[in-house]
Chains A and B, each alone.
Chain A
Amino acid sequence: MQSPISSNDAAMSQAIGHGDGHGHGHGEHPDLRMLGFTLFLISEGMLFVGLFVAYLTYRAAAPAWPPAGTPELEKILPAIFTVILVASSGVIMLAERALKHGDMGQFRLFWLLTTAMGTIFVAGQAYEWMHLEFGLKDGLFGGTFYVLTGFHGMHVIIGLLLQAVVFFRSFKTNHYTPASHFGVGASSLYWHFVDVVWIFLFALLYII
């Protein structure tokens, strides 16, 4: 564990010497940034864990879920959008693979496809929100549904914005190379995270 660090002394001091922790000096060991980003996502995940457990607690205590008078949630359409979102996680992996092979054209194609699929998911969610018969203030059922899907939707939108930034940066010469592409790796990891959270959320809200 120590030896790669000491061999990176030069790179390290270069990074600090430029007063820029995210400058090219750190490009020598992108693993640290990925480690930091992964820790951040673990922390972010705990936010969802907290909300999920609160949801389960409410649900366990409720006499009926959904409460009497509120229709069951429509499942077919959300299931289709779920498939699209989960599939987009595979597409973004294809994009990453293309980048590792140095094929920028294919990378951009798959990357854009991911963004498109994510956008369809958000649009689907917006459509669902507009056609639901209950609102945010309609008891715990309405409140938890909108807050949980809303929190997740916000994360999807952030993921899409990250993808847009990466897409435009990919046109800069040598900004992302097969060996060094932290921005691509991080936004891809973020996308997988958003995806996994949704799988849990879909199971909680629609299936059980």
Chain B
Amino acid sequence: MVETTQQSVEQRQPEPLGDWRCYFSFCVDHKVIGIQYLVTTFFFYLLGGALAMVIRAELMTPGAELDRSLYNGVFTIHATIMIFLWIIPTLAGFGNFLVPLMIGARDMAFPRLNALSFWMIPPGGLLLLSSFFVQSGAAGAGWTSYPPLSTQQVQVGDLLVTNFGQVIWIASVVFLGTSSILAALNFIVTIVAMRTEGMELFRMPLFCWATLTASCITLLGTPVLAGAVILLAFDLLLGTVFFNPTGGGDPVVYQHMFWFYSHPAVYIMVLPAMGIISEVLPVFSRKPIFGYKAIAISSMGIAVLGFLVWAHHMFTSGTPDWLRMFFMVTSFLIAVPTGIKVFSWLGTIWGGKLELSSAMLFAMGFVSMFVVGGLSGIMLASVPVDIHVHDTYFVVAHLHYVLFGGSVFAIYAGLYYWFPKMTGRLLNETWGKIHFALTFIGFNLCFLPMHQLGLQGMPRRVAEYAEQFQSLNVLVSIGGFLLGISTLPFLFNAIYSWLWGPKAPANPWRALTLEWTTASPPPVENFEYLPVVTAGPYEYGTVGSSPEGDTPTAISQPKS
């Protein structure tokens, strides 16, 4: 890859990035790394999805078909993969590909560190999966890994052994967390210091704002999670009593440390997704985004508030009343900056000339599904409701509306929107719409009935349930399988189009952000000449634009 880069600098010619082999190497080009992230994490997404199919197959009947500890391992690893190996890193993949292009830089601030962040992911993922094959079985205490459940010894035959599956889980989470911290600091430095001329902070595309904010959360929150699980490892391996009440320790301290990271992690997973939505909606509405500054600043508001709400996950953990009151109020407050965003997006498409492309459909799917997740979130934030539905399927329904209806819909929107830029090929729109329809129906069929199951009191994380829940569970499972099937048209479309799809022009959507001013796929150093930015990124349909389409408001000119 190094040779390829040098060569192209000499020739100064836009050319596709090397051959396929560079995608399997320690390449330092941010675009290659971005695609490495996206493809690798999609692989893990399919794997996590396969585990979800196992869960749904098990829950077709009230009895337990699987070995119970295996079932525990399956849902634990399912969640861990989806969070740490799919949503968080895949959004980092978008960030890697897009941030330097969007701010008019030639690469990230630290290209080698960038490659290192990526190359920590495959081994971290394989490590996690390897926990299925150790004698003690995979980690089975849920992705939250609360002690004392997670620190108990496990029965293997007649022996009680240390839970090595849990140890592997801890090692993997620390490893993947380090990767995301390194990626985050790279994003922050790049965005703060490498913007091209004229790219003022308040001219940055909102995706960059979102990535900047999410990176700050990663940088400040992830180390606390590392601290929590390292103490957990001490308890597991060395017999300390940090979280062991019989020795004077306190398991609730783990919960505080865990959620101090893991609640803000929700915003790590949704802010960049919101950034993607803020790019897609104005392009396909042909209107300037409504409330640019409000969207940018509300991200910061969410990030700050996000660090002050964690104990709303612990209303049933013996949290004192005054503290529950505090966390209930702060959690309600989060609805304000979130609402600002939602109304801004609605204001953006209001009266616009909508083009219902696959990307736009997924973006609108995001807005509507995320609102459902947000509403159930407000219900869960209120102590009296939460006490009733805590650890039931209502919570499962809520988190999937936020993380699938939210993050994953946005990821798909982003994939449809930037696929031509990344690969130089156009995706098939018909297959895209089939994909959207299947996903939307499957998603709601799967997760909507879970609200009802939760309200009726079906607990989460158990393989067996009372017979009265069966009919709804069958419905949920059918939705789940449909959701599994829905990835097939996308996979087929993506692979086929990448190889044989029609060639994409530089700017197929007539978008105004800088990544569309360069070739598809972009040349090695992104721009022949660094662009000089003269206006904001969302000036669609305003003064100076022709009825046929808008032209990017950045000047590409040779530098003297």
Contacts and interface: CB of A to CB of B under 8 A. Distances in A.
B106 interface: yes
Contact of B197 (A3, A17, A22, A42): A3
Nearest to B195: A2
A147 B109 CA distance: 35
Contacts of B222: 43, 46
Contact of A13 (B2, B106, B186, B249): B106
Contacts, number: 154
Contacts of B530: 6, 9
Given A21-B113, A54-B253, A136-B240, A39 B219 contact: yes
Interface string B537-560: 000000000000000000000010
A57 B253 contact: yes
Interface in A128-174: 136-137, 139-140, 143-144, 147
A42 B216 CA distance: 10
A140 B242 CA distance: 6
Interface stretch (B80-88, B160-168, B226-234, B460-468): B226-234
A42 to B, nearest CB: 7
Interface string B1-25: 1100110010000000000000000
Contacts of B234: 136, 143, 147
Contacts of A12: 105-107
B335 to A, nearest CB: 27
Contacts of A17: 5-6, 9, 525
B545 to A, nearest CB: 25
Nearest to B194: A5
Contacts of A43: 181, 185, 219-220, 222-223
A46 B525 contact: no
Interface string A42-83: 111111011100100110011000010000000000000000
B434 interface: no
B220 A62 contact: no
A126 interface: no
A47 B226 contact: yes
Contacts of B196: 2, 5-6
A139 B248 contact: yes
A40 B240 contact: no
B250 A57 contact: yes
B241 interface: yes
A5 B103 CA distance: 12
Given A21-B110, A39-B219, A140-B249, A2 B197 contact: yes
B260 interface: yes
A46 B198 CA distance: 34
Contacts of B188: 39
A32 B189 contact: yes
Nearest to A14: B9
Contact of A50 (B193, B197, B241, B257): B257
Contacts of B228: 50
A35 interface: yes
Nearest to B533: A2
Nearest to A22: B112
Contact of B186 (A36, A61, A140): A36
A139 B240 CA distance: 7
A16 interface: yes
Contacts of B260: 50
Contacts of B189: 32, 35-36, 39
A29 to B, nearest CB: 8
* A interface, over-half SS: helix
B240 A18 contact: no
Interface residues of A, number: 44
A137 B1 contact: no
Contacts of A136: 234, 238, 240
A164 to B, nearest CB: 23
A1 interface: yes
B416 to A, nearest CB: 29
Contacts of A62: 248
B248 A140 contact: yes
A31 B5 CA distance: 25
Contacts of B112: 20-22
Contacts of B193: 1, 5, 31-32, 35
A67 B247 CA distance: 12
Nearest to A8: B194
B227 A50 contact: yes
A35 B77 CA distance: 36
Nearest to A150: B234
Given A21-B28, A43-B220, A16 B107 contact: yes
A2 B241 contact: no
A49 B111 contact: no
Contact of B198 (A2, A9, A32): A2
A18 B227 contact: no
A50 to B, nearest CB: 4
A46 B106 contact: no
A144 B196 CA distance: 48
Contacts of B39: none
B119 to A, nearest CB: 14
B221 interface: yes
A19 B2 contact: yes
A35 B114 CA distance: 16
A157 B197 CA distance: 43
B247 A139 contact: yes
A58 B240 contact: no
Given A5-B195, A19-B1, A47 B220 contact: no
Nearest to B215: A39
Contact of B250 (A19, A21, A58): A58
A46 B221 contact: yes
B199 interface: yes
Nearest to A2: B197
Contact of A36 (B5, B109, B223, B239): B109
Q: Please list the 9 inter-chain residue pairs (A to B) with the smallest Cβ-Cβ separation, ordered nearest first.
A: A19-B2, A50-B224, A21-B111, A47-B223, A50-B227, A17-B9, A46-B223, A143-B240, A39-B185
26 contacts: A2-B199, A3-B197, A6-B196, A9-B559, A12-B106, A13-B525, A16-B107, A16-B525, A18-B2, A19-B5, A19-B6, A19-B28, A20-B28, A21-B107, A21-B110, A36-B189, A42-B219, A43-B181, A50-B224, A54-B227, A58-B253, A137-B238, A139-B241, A140-B241, A144-B242, A147-B231
Interface of B: 1-2, 5-6, 9, 28, 105-107, 109-114, 181-182, 185-186, 188-189, 192-200, 219-224, 226-228, 231, 234, 238-242, 247-250, 253, 256-257, 260, 525, 530, 559
Given A13-B106, A21-B111, A47-B226, 9 more contacts: A1-B195, A3-B197, A19-B1, A21-B113, A42-B220, A43-B181, A46-B223, A137-B240, A143-B240
